[in-house]
Structure 1
Amino acid sequence: MNGEVQRRVVSKDGHNNIRIDNVDGMVKLYLHDIWTTVVDIKWRYKLILFVSTFLTTWFFFGVVFYFIAMANNDLDIEQASNHTPCVMNVATLTGAYLFSLETQTTIGYGFRHISEECPLAILTLVLQLVLTSLAEIFVTGAFLAKLARPKKRAETVKFSQLALVSKHKGRLCLMVRVANMRRRPLLQCQLSGKLLFPYVTEEGEKIQLHQESVDFQLDSSEQCPFLVLPLIFYHVLDEKSPLASLTAENLKGRNFELVVTLNATLESTASTCHSRTSYIPQEFRWGYEFKPLIFGTQSGKYVTDFNYFDEIQIRSDSSLLQESTNEKLLLEEEYSKE
């Protein structure tokens, strides 16, 4: 492990570090679920889709109206006095394009308008209004769906850069600090974790990324009623924990990734947001605790100083490392006696 960069499934800012290659029919799969594809694409592509939808439909139906006018001899300069054009005052492709634009944006009809003598033009007009209305509903709905997603709200949730291991209420615990960067609180917050590590089964099967659940809790329960101040979540390193064998001595030599996810409900919209990060063994600190960052003011308010958010300090009970070593030696002695 020394000198090697450990791979991550999830980056520190919560993005997936997974690339999908060599999938047959990937484009077809994405087109089958076109709604999710349009909602998930980046904003620059969504804006291009929005603009191109209007420009394409305007031009397409403008060409159709131009061909209708051509078939009806509306483009002939020397027209009979009793000749009625399909679309009045449309003699060029530019005029047909402008008529299509005016129709779709409902800013007509004035100078250019359709006549009653051409059923094909009337049918094309109805078809344009129906199809373009559906297209506009789809694109506008995709815009609203992307805006309503709480993805950006999840970016205002901050995780500590380091995970600490020390004693809390007499038990060895893994600690992670989480903060809400907005004044409006997050409701029903719950922190959960997944431990990813290589694993070999009893049958000799090698699993590159075996997953085990890591439960976090506050002092009272697993769920926080609301998150308005930075809080520290704890995971007890007991015999039930997948990190039970973790010690200060073997920490740097371990190969695992702890993915931590915060699930919360937005107070304003009641929608659910998810924010995540990950920790590798190099980001664990043994025998440390987080420095306080909440201070009171004379006006009766609390101030959260985020300059101290990632600050840590050695615990006052410096015997933690020695105690963990002594416990390990006692277990080894008991095992050898058996």
Structure 2
Amino acid sequence: MAMAQENAAFSPGPEEPPRRRGRQRYVEKDGRCNVQQGNVRETYRYLTDLFTTLVDLQWRLSLLFFVLAYALTWLFFGAIWWLIAYGRGDLEHLEDTAWTPCVNNLNGFVAAFLFSIETETTIGYGHRVITDQCPEGIVLLLLQAILGSMVNAFMVGCMFVKISQPNKRAATLVFSSHAVVSLRDGRLCLMFRVGDLRSSHIVEASIRAKLIRSRQTLEGEFIPLHQTDLSVGFDTGDDRLFLVSPLVISHEIDAASPFWEASRRALERDDFEIVVILEGMVEATGMTCQARSSYLVDEVLWGHRFTSVLTLEDGFYEVDYASFHETFEVPTPSCSARELAEAAARLDAHLYWSIPSRLDEKGQTQVPGQLNVVGGERVRQGPYECTKAGEPPQNLGSGIQLGQERS
């Protein structure tokens, strides 16, 4: 009884649950950037690029501006046509058949407004016609025809660009709801999955990933949204995607990774956001398309792997998007990638010196590393379990497997 109490005194208490902190997303899951521009004093800069300003407007504002642009133009020129008729006295000689007006059958402001619409839209009903006895009317007709063509080109161009914006294509580019951390070829990797729902493909597709978190410099400067690139194969070309079927994008957690010293528990206590960006050209239009998503700390699953969604059918491959977001647990060490690499190095050193000397008498050789050659047989090293410095390293799963020793 006393021994049990003594052991209980030295046994560690229950682990505290990971500390979760709420974080405001920088980029929403659907790709919208959660940033609003406030206190912009130099608003005139928006007018220097009026076309982009109109394209970026919400649909209801764009439609309102579209209607107002035409209506105000028709009203403006209709008022000028009425002023010309009023100034020439045409409205006072409506019943005088000997009087030659500027515009035939223009008897008021409504008629002038209708004539303005007919002129700018080139309808030409033929009831109201300009005469050759009105030089000011001829000049106004030329001005309205030119200005009307400019308004048509500008407004139709804005609506066409707004309708054909490539961000609508990005709605069919999907990202997995979670990112995962697990072993790949004995190395810890952070992975997420991307897919394209359409049959038309994204040309020259490329993927990027950025880590967003706050940091403080050595001088004490606080940077709330510091951006760090996560390598997803830029050096090897793996960031260039042939996105015909869903792909798992992998970030190897090596010495250059910001997660090099992050264990499972440290990762769960951290506060960060991973923003992923997929870019490419739309095959049908050639326009550049960009799709974005993000993962918070609680959306990164340690020790999970994505379920396969690709199956081989009779003469073709089939993608099951019902399992696109599904993951399953796999054996994964809870230590950091640095500790895992140190454990692997200790295991290599242990293998190098622990092979019996009688194997050397048979002419068998050993090569330090993950794959050793022993008398023609191979010594395989699987994933390593993390151990403290000075302790013998362990192997996950089946451990070290030696080939049969020859007699």
Judge same fold: TM > 0.5, yes or no: yes
* Farther off after superposition, 209-218 or 30-39: 209-218
- Equivalent residues of 2:261, 2:337 under 8 A apart: no
Partner of 1:181: 197
CA RMSD of aligned residues (A): 2.5
Equivalenced residues, count = 331
In structure 1, distance between residues paired with 2:319 and 2:307? 12
1:142-163, Cα deviation, whole Å (9 max, x unpaired): 1222233211111110000100
- Maintained 8 Å contact 2:260/2:338: no
Residue 13 of structure 1: CA displacement? 0.5
**1:321: how far off?**
2.9
Using structure 2 for the length normalisation, give the TM-score.
0.76
Give the TM-score of the pair, scaled to structure 1. 0.91
Say if 1:196 and 1:258, in contact at 8 Å, map to a contact too. yes
Moved more, 139-148 or 240-249: 139-148
Q: Which residue of 2 aligns with 1:20?
A: 37
Structure 1 pair 92–144 and aligned structure 2 pair: CA distance change class (3 A): same
Q: Residue 260 of structure 2 contacts residue 337 of structure 2 at CA under 8 Å; is this kept in 1?
A: no
CA displacement, residues 271-319 of structure 1 (integer Å, 9 cap, x when unaligned): 221111011111100010001111222x32222111111110011xx25
Letter of the 1:321 counterpart: S
Give the AA of the match of 2:210: K
How far apart, CA to CA, are the structure 1 residues paired with 2:162 and 2:133? Answer: 45
Q: CA–CA distance in 1 between the matches of 2:20 and 2:263? A: 22
**Structure 2 CA distance for partners of 1:65 and 1:168, relative to 1, 3 Å:** same
Q: Secondary structure at the match of 1:140?
A: helix
Distance 1:217 1:181 in 2: 24
Percent identity between the aligned chains? 36
Q: 1:333 deviation in Å?
A: 6.0
Provide the residue aligned with 1:151 in structure 2. 167
Structure 1 residue 226: Cα displacement:
2.0
Of 220-229 and 59-68, the range deviating more from structure 2: 220-229
Contact 2:180/2:191, CA 8 A, preserved across alignment: yes
Q: Residue 289 of structure 2: SS of its match in structure 1?
A: strand
Give matches, 1:23-62, under 5 Å: 23-26=40-43, 28-62=44-78
- What is the letter of the counterpart of residue 313 of structure 1? F
Q: How does 1:298-337 map to 2 (within 5 A)?
A: 299-315=314-330, 318-321=331-334, 327=340
Partner of 1:84: 100
Unaligned stretches of 5+ residues in structure 1: none
* Equivalent residues of 1:288, 1:312 under 8 A apart: yes
Q: Secondary structure at the match of 1:321?
A: coil
Label 1:152 to 1:78 Cα distance change in 2 as closer, same or farther (>3 A). closer
Question: How does 1:188-337 map onto structure 2 within 5 Å?
Answer: 188-217=204-233, 221-297=237-313, 299-315=314-330, 318-321=331-334, 327=340
Q: Is residue 229–residue 304 contact of structure 1 (8 Å, CA) maintained in 2?
A: yes
2: CA distance, partners of 1:78 / 1:207: 77
Secondary structure (helix, strand or coil) at the match of 1:320 reads coil
**Equivalent residues of 2:230, 2:251 under 8 A apart:** yes
Is the 8 Å Cα contact of residues 253 and 337 (structure 2) preserved in structure 1? no
Structure 2 stretches lacking a partner, 5+ long: 1-17, 344-385, 391-407
Provide the secondary structure at the position in 1 that maps to 2:39: coil
Residue matched to 1:125? 141
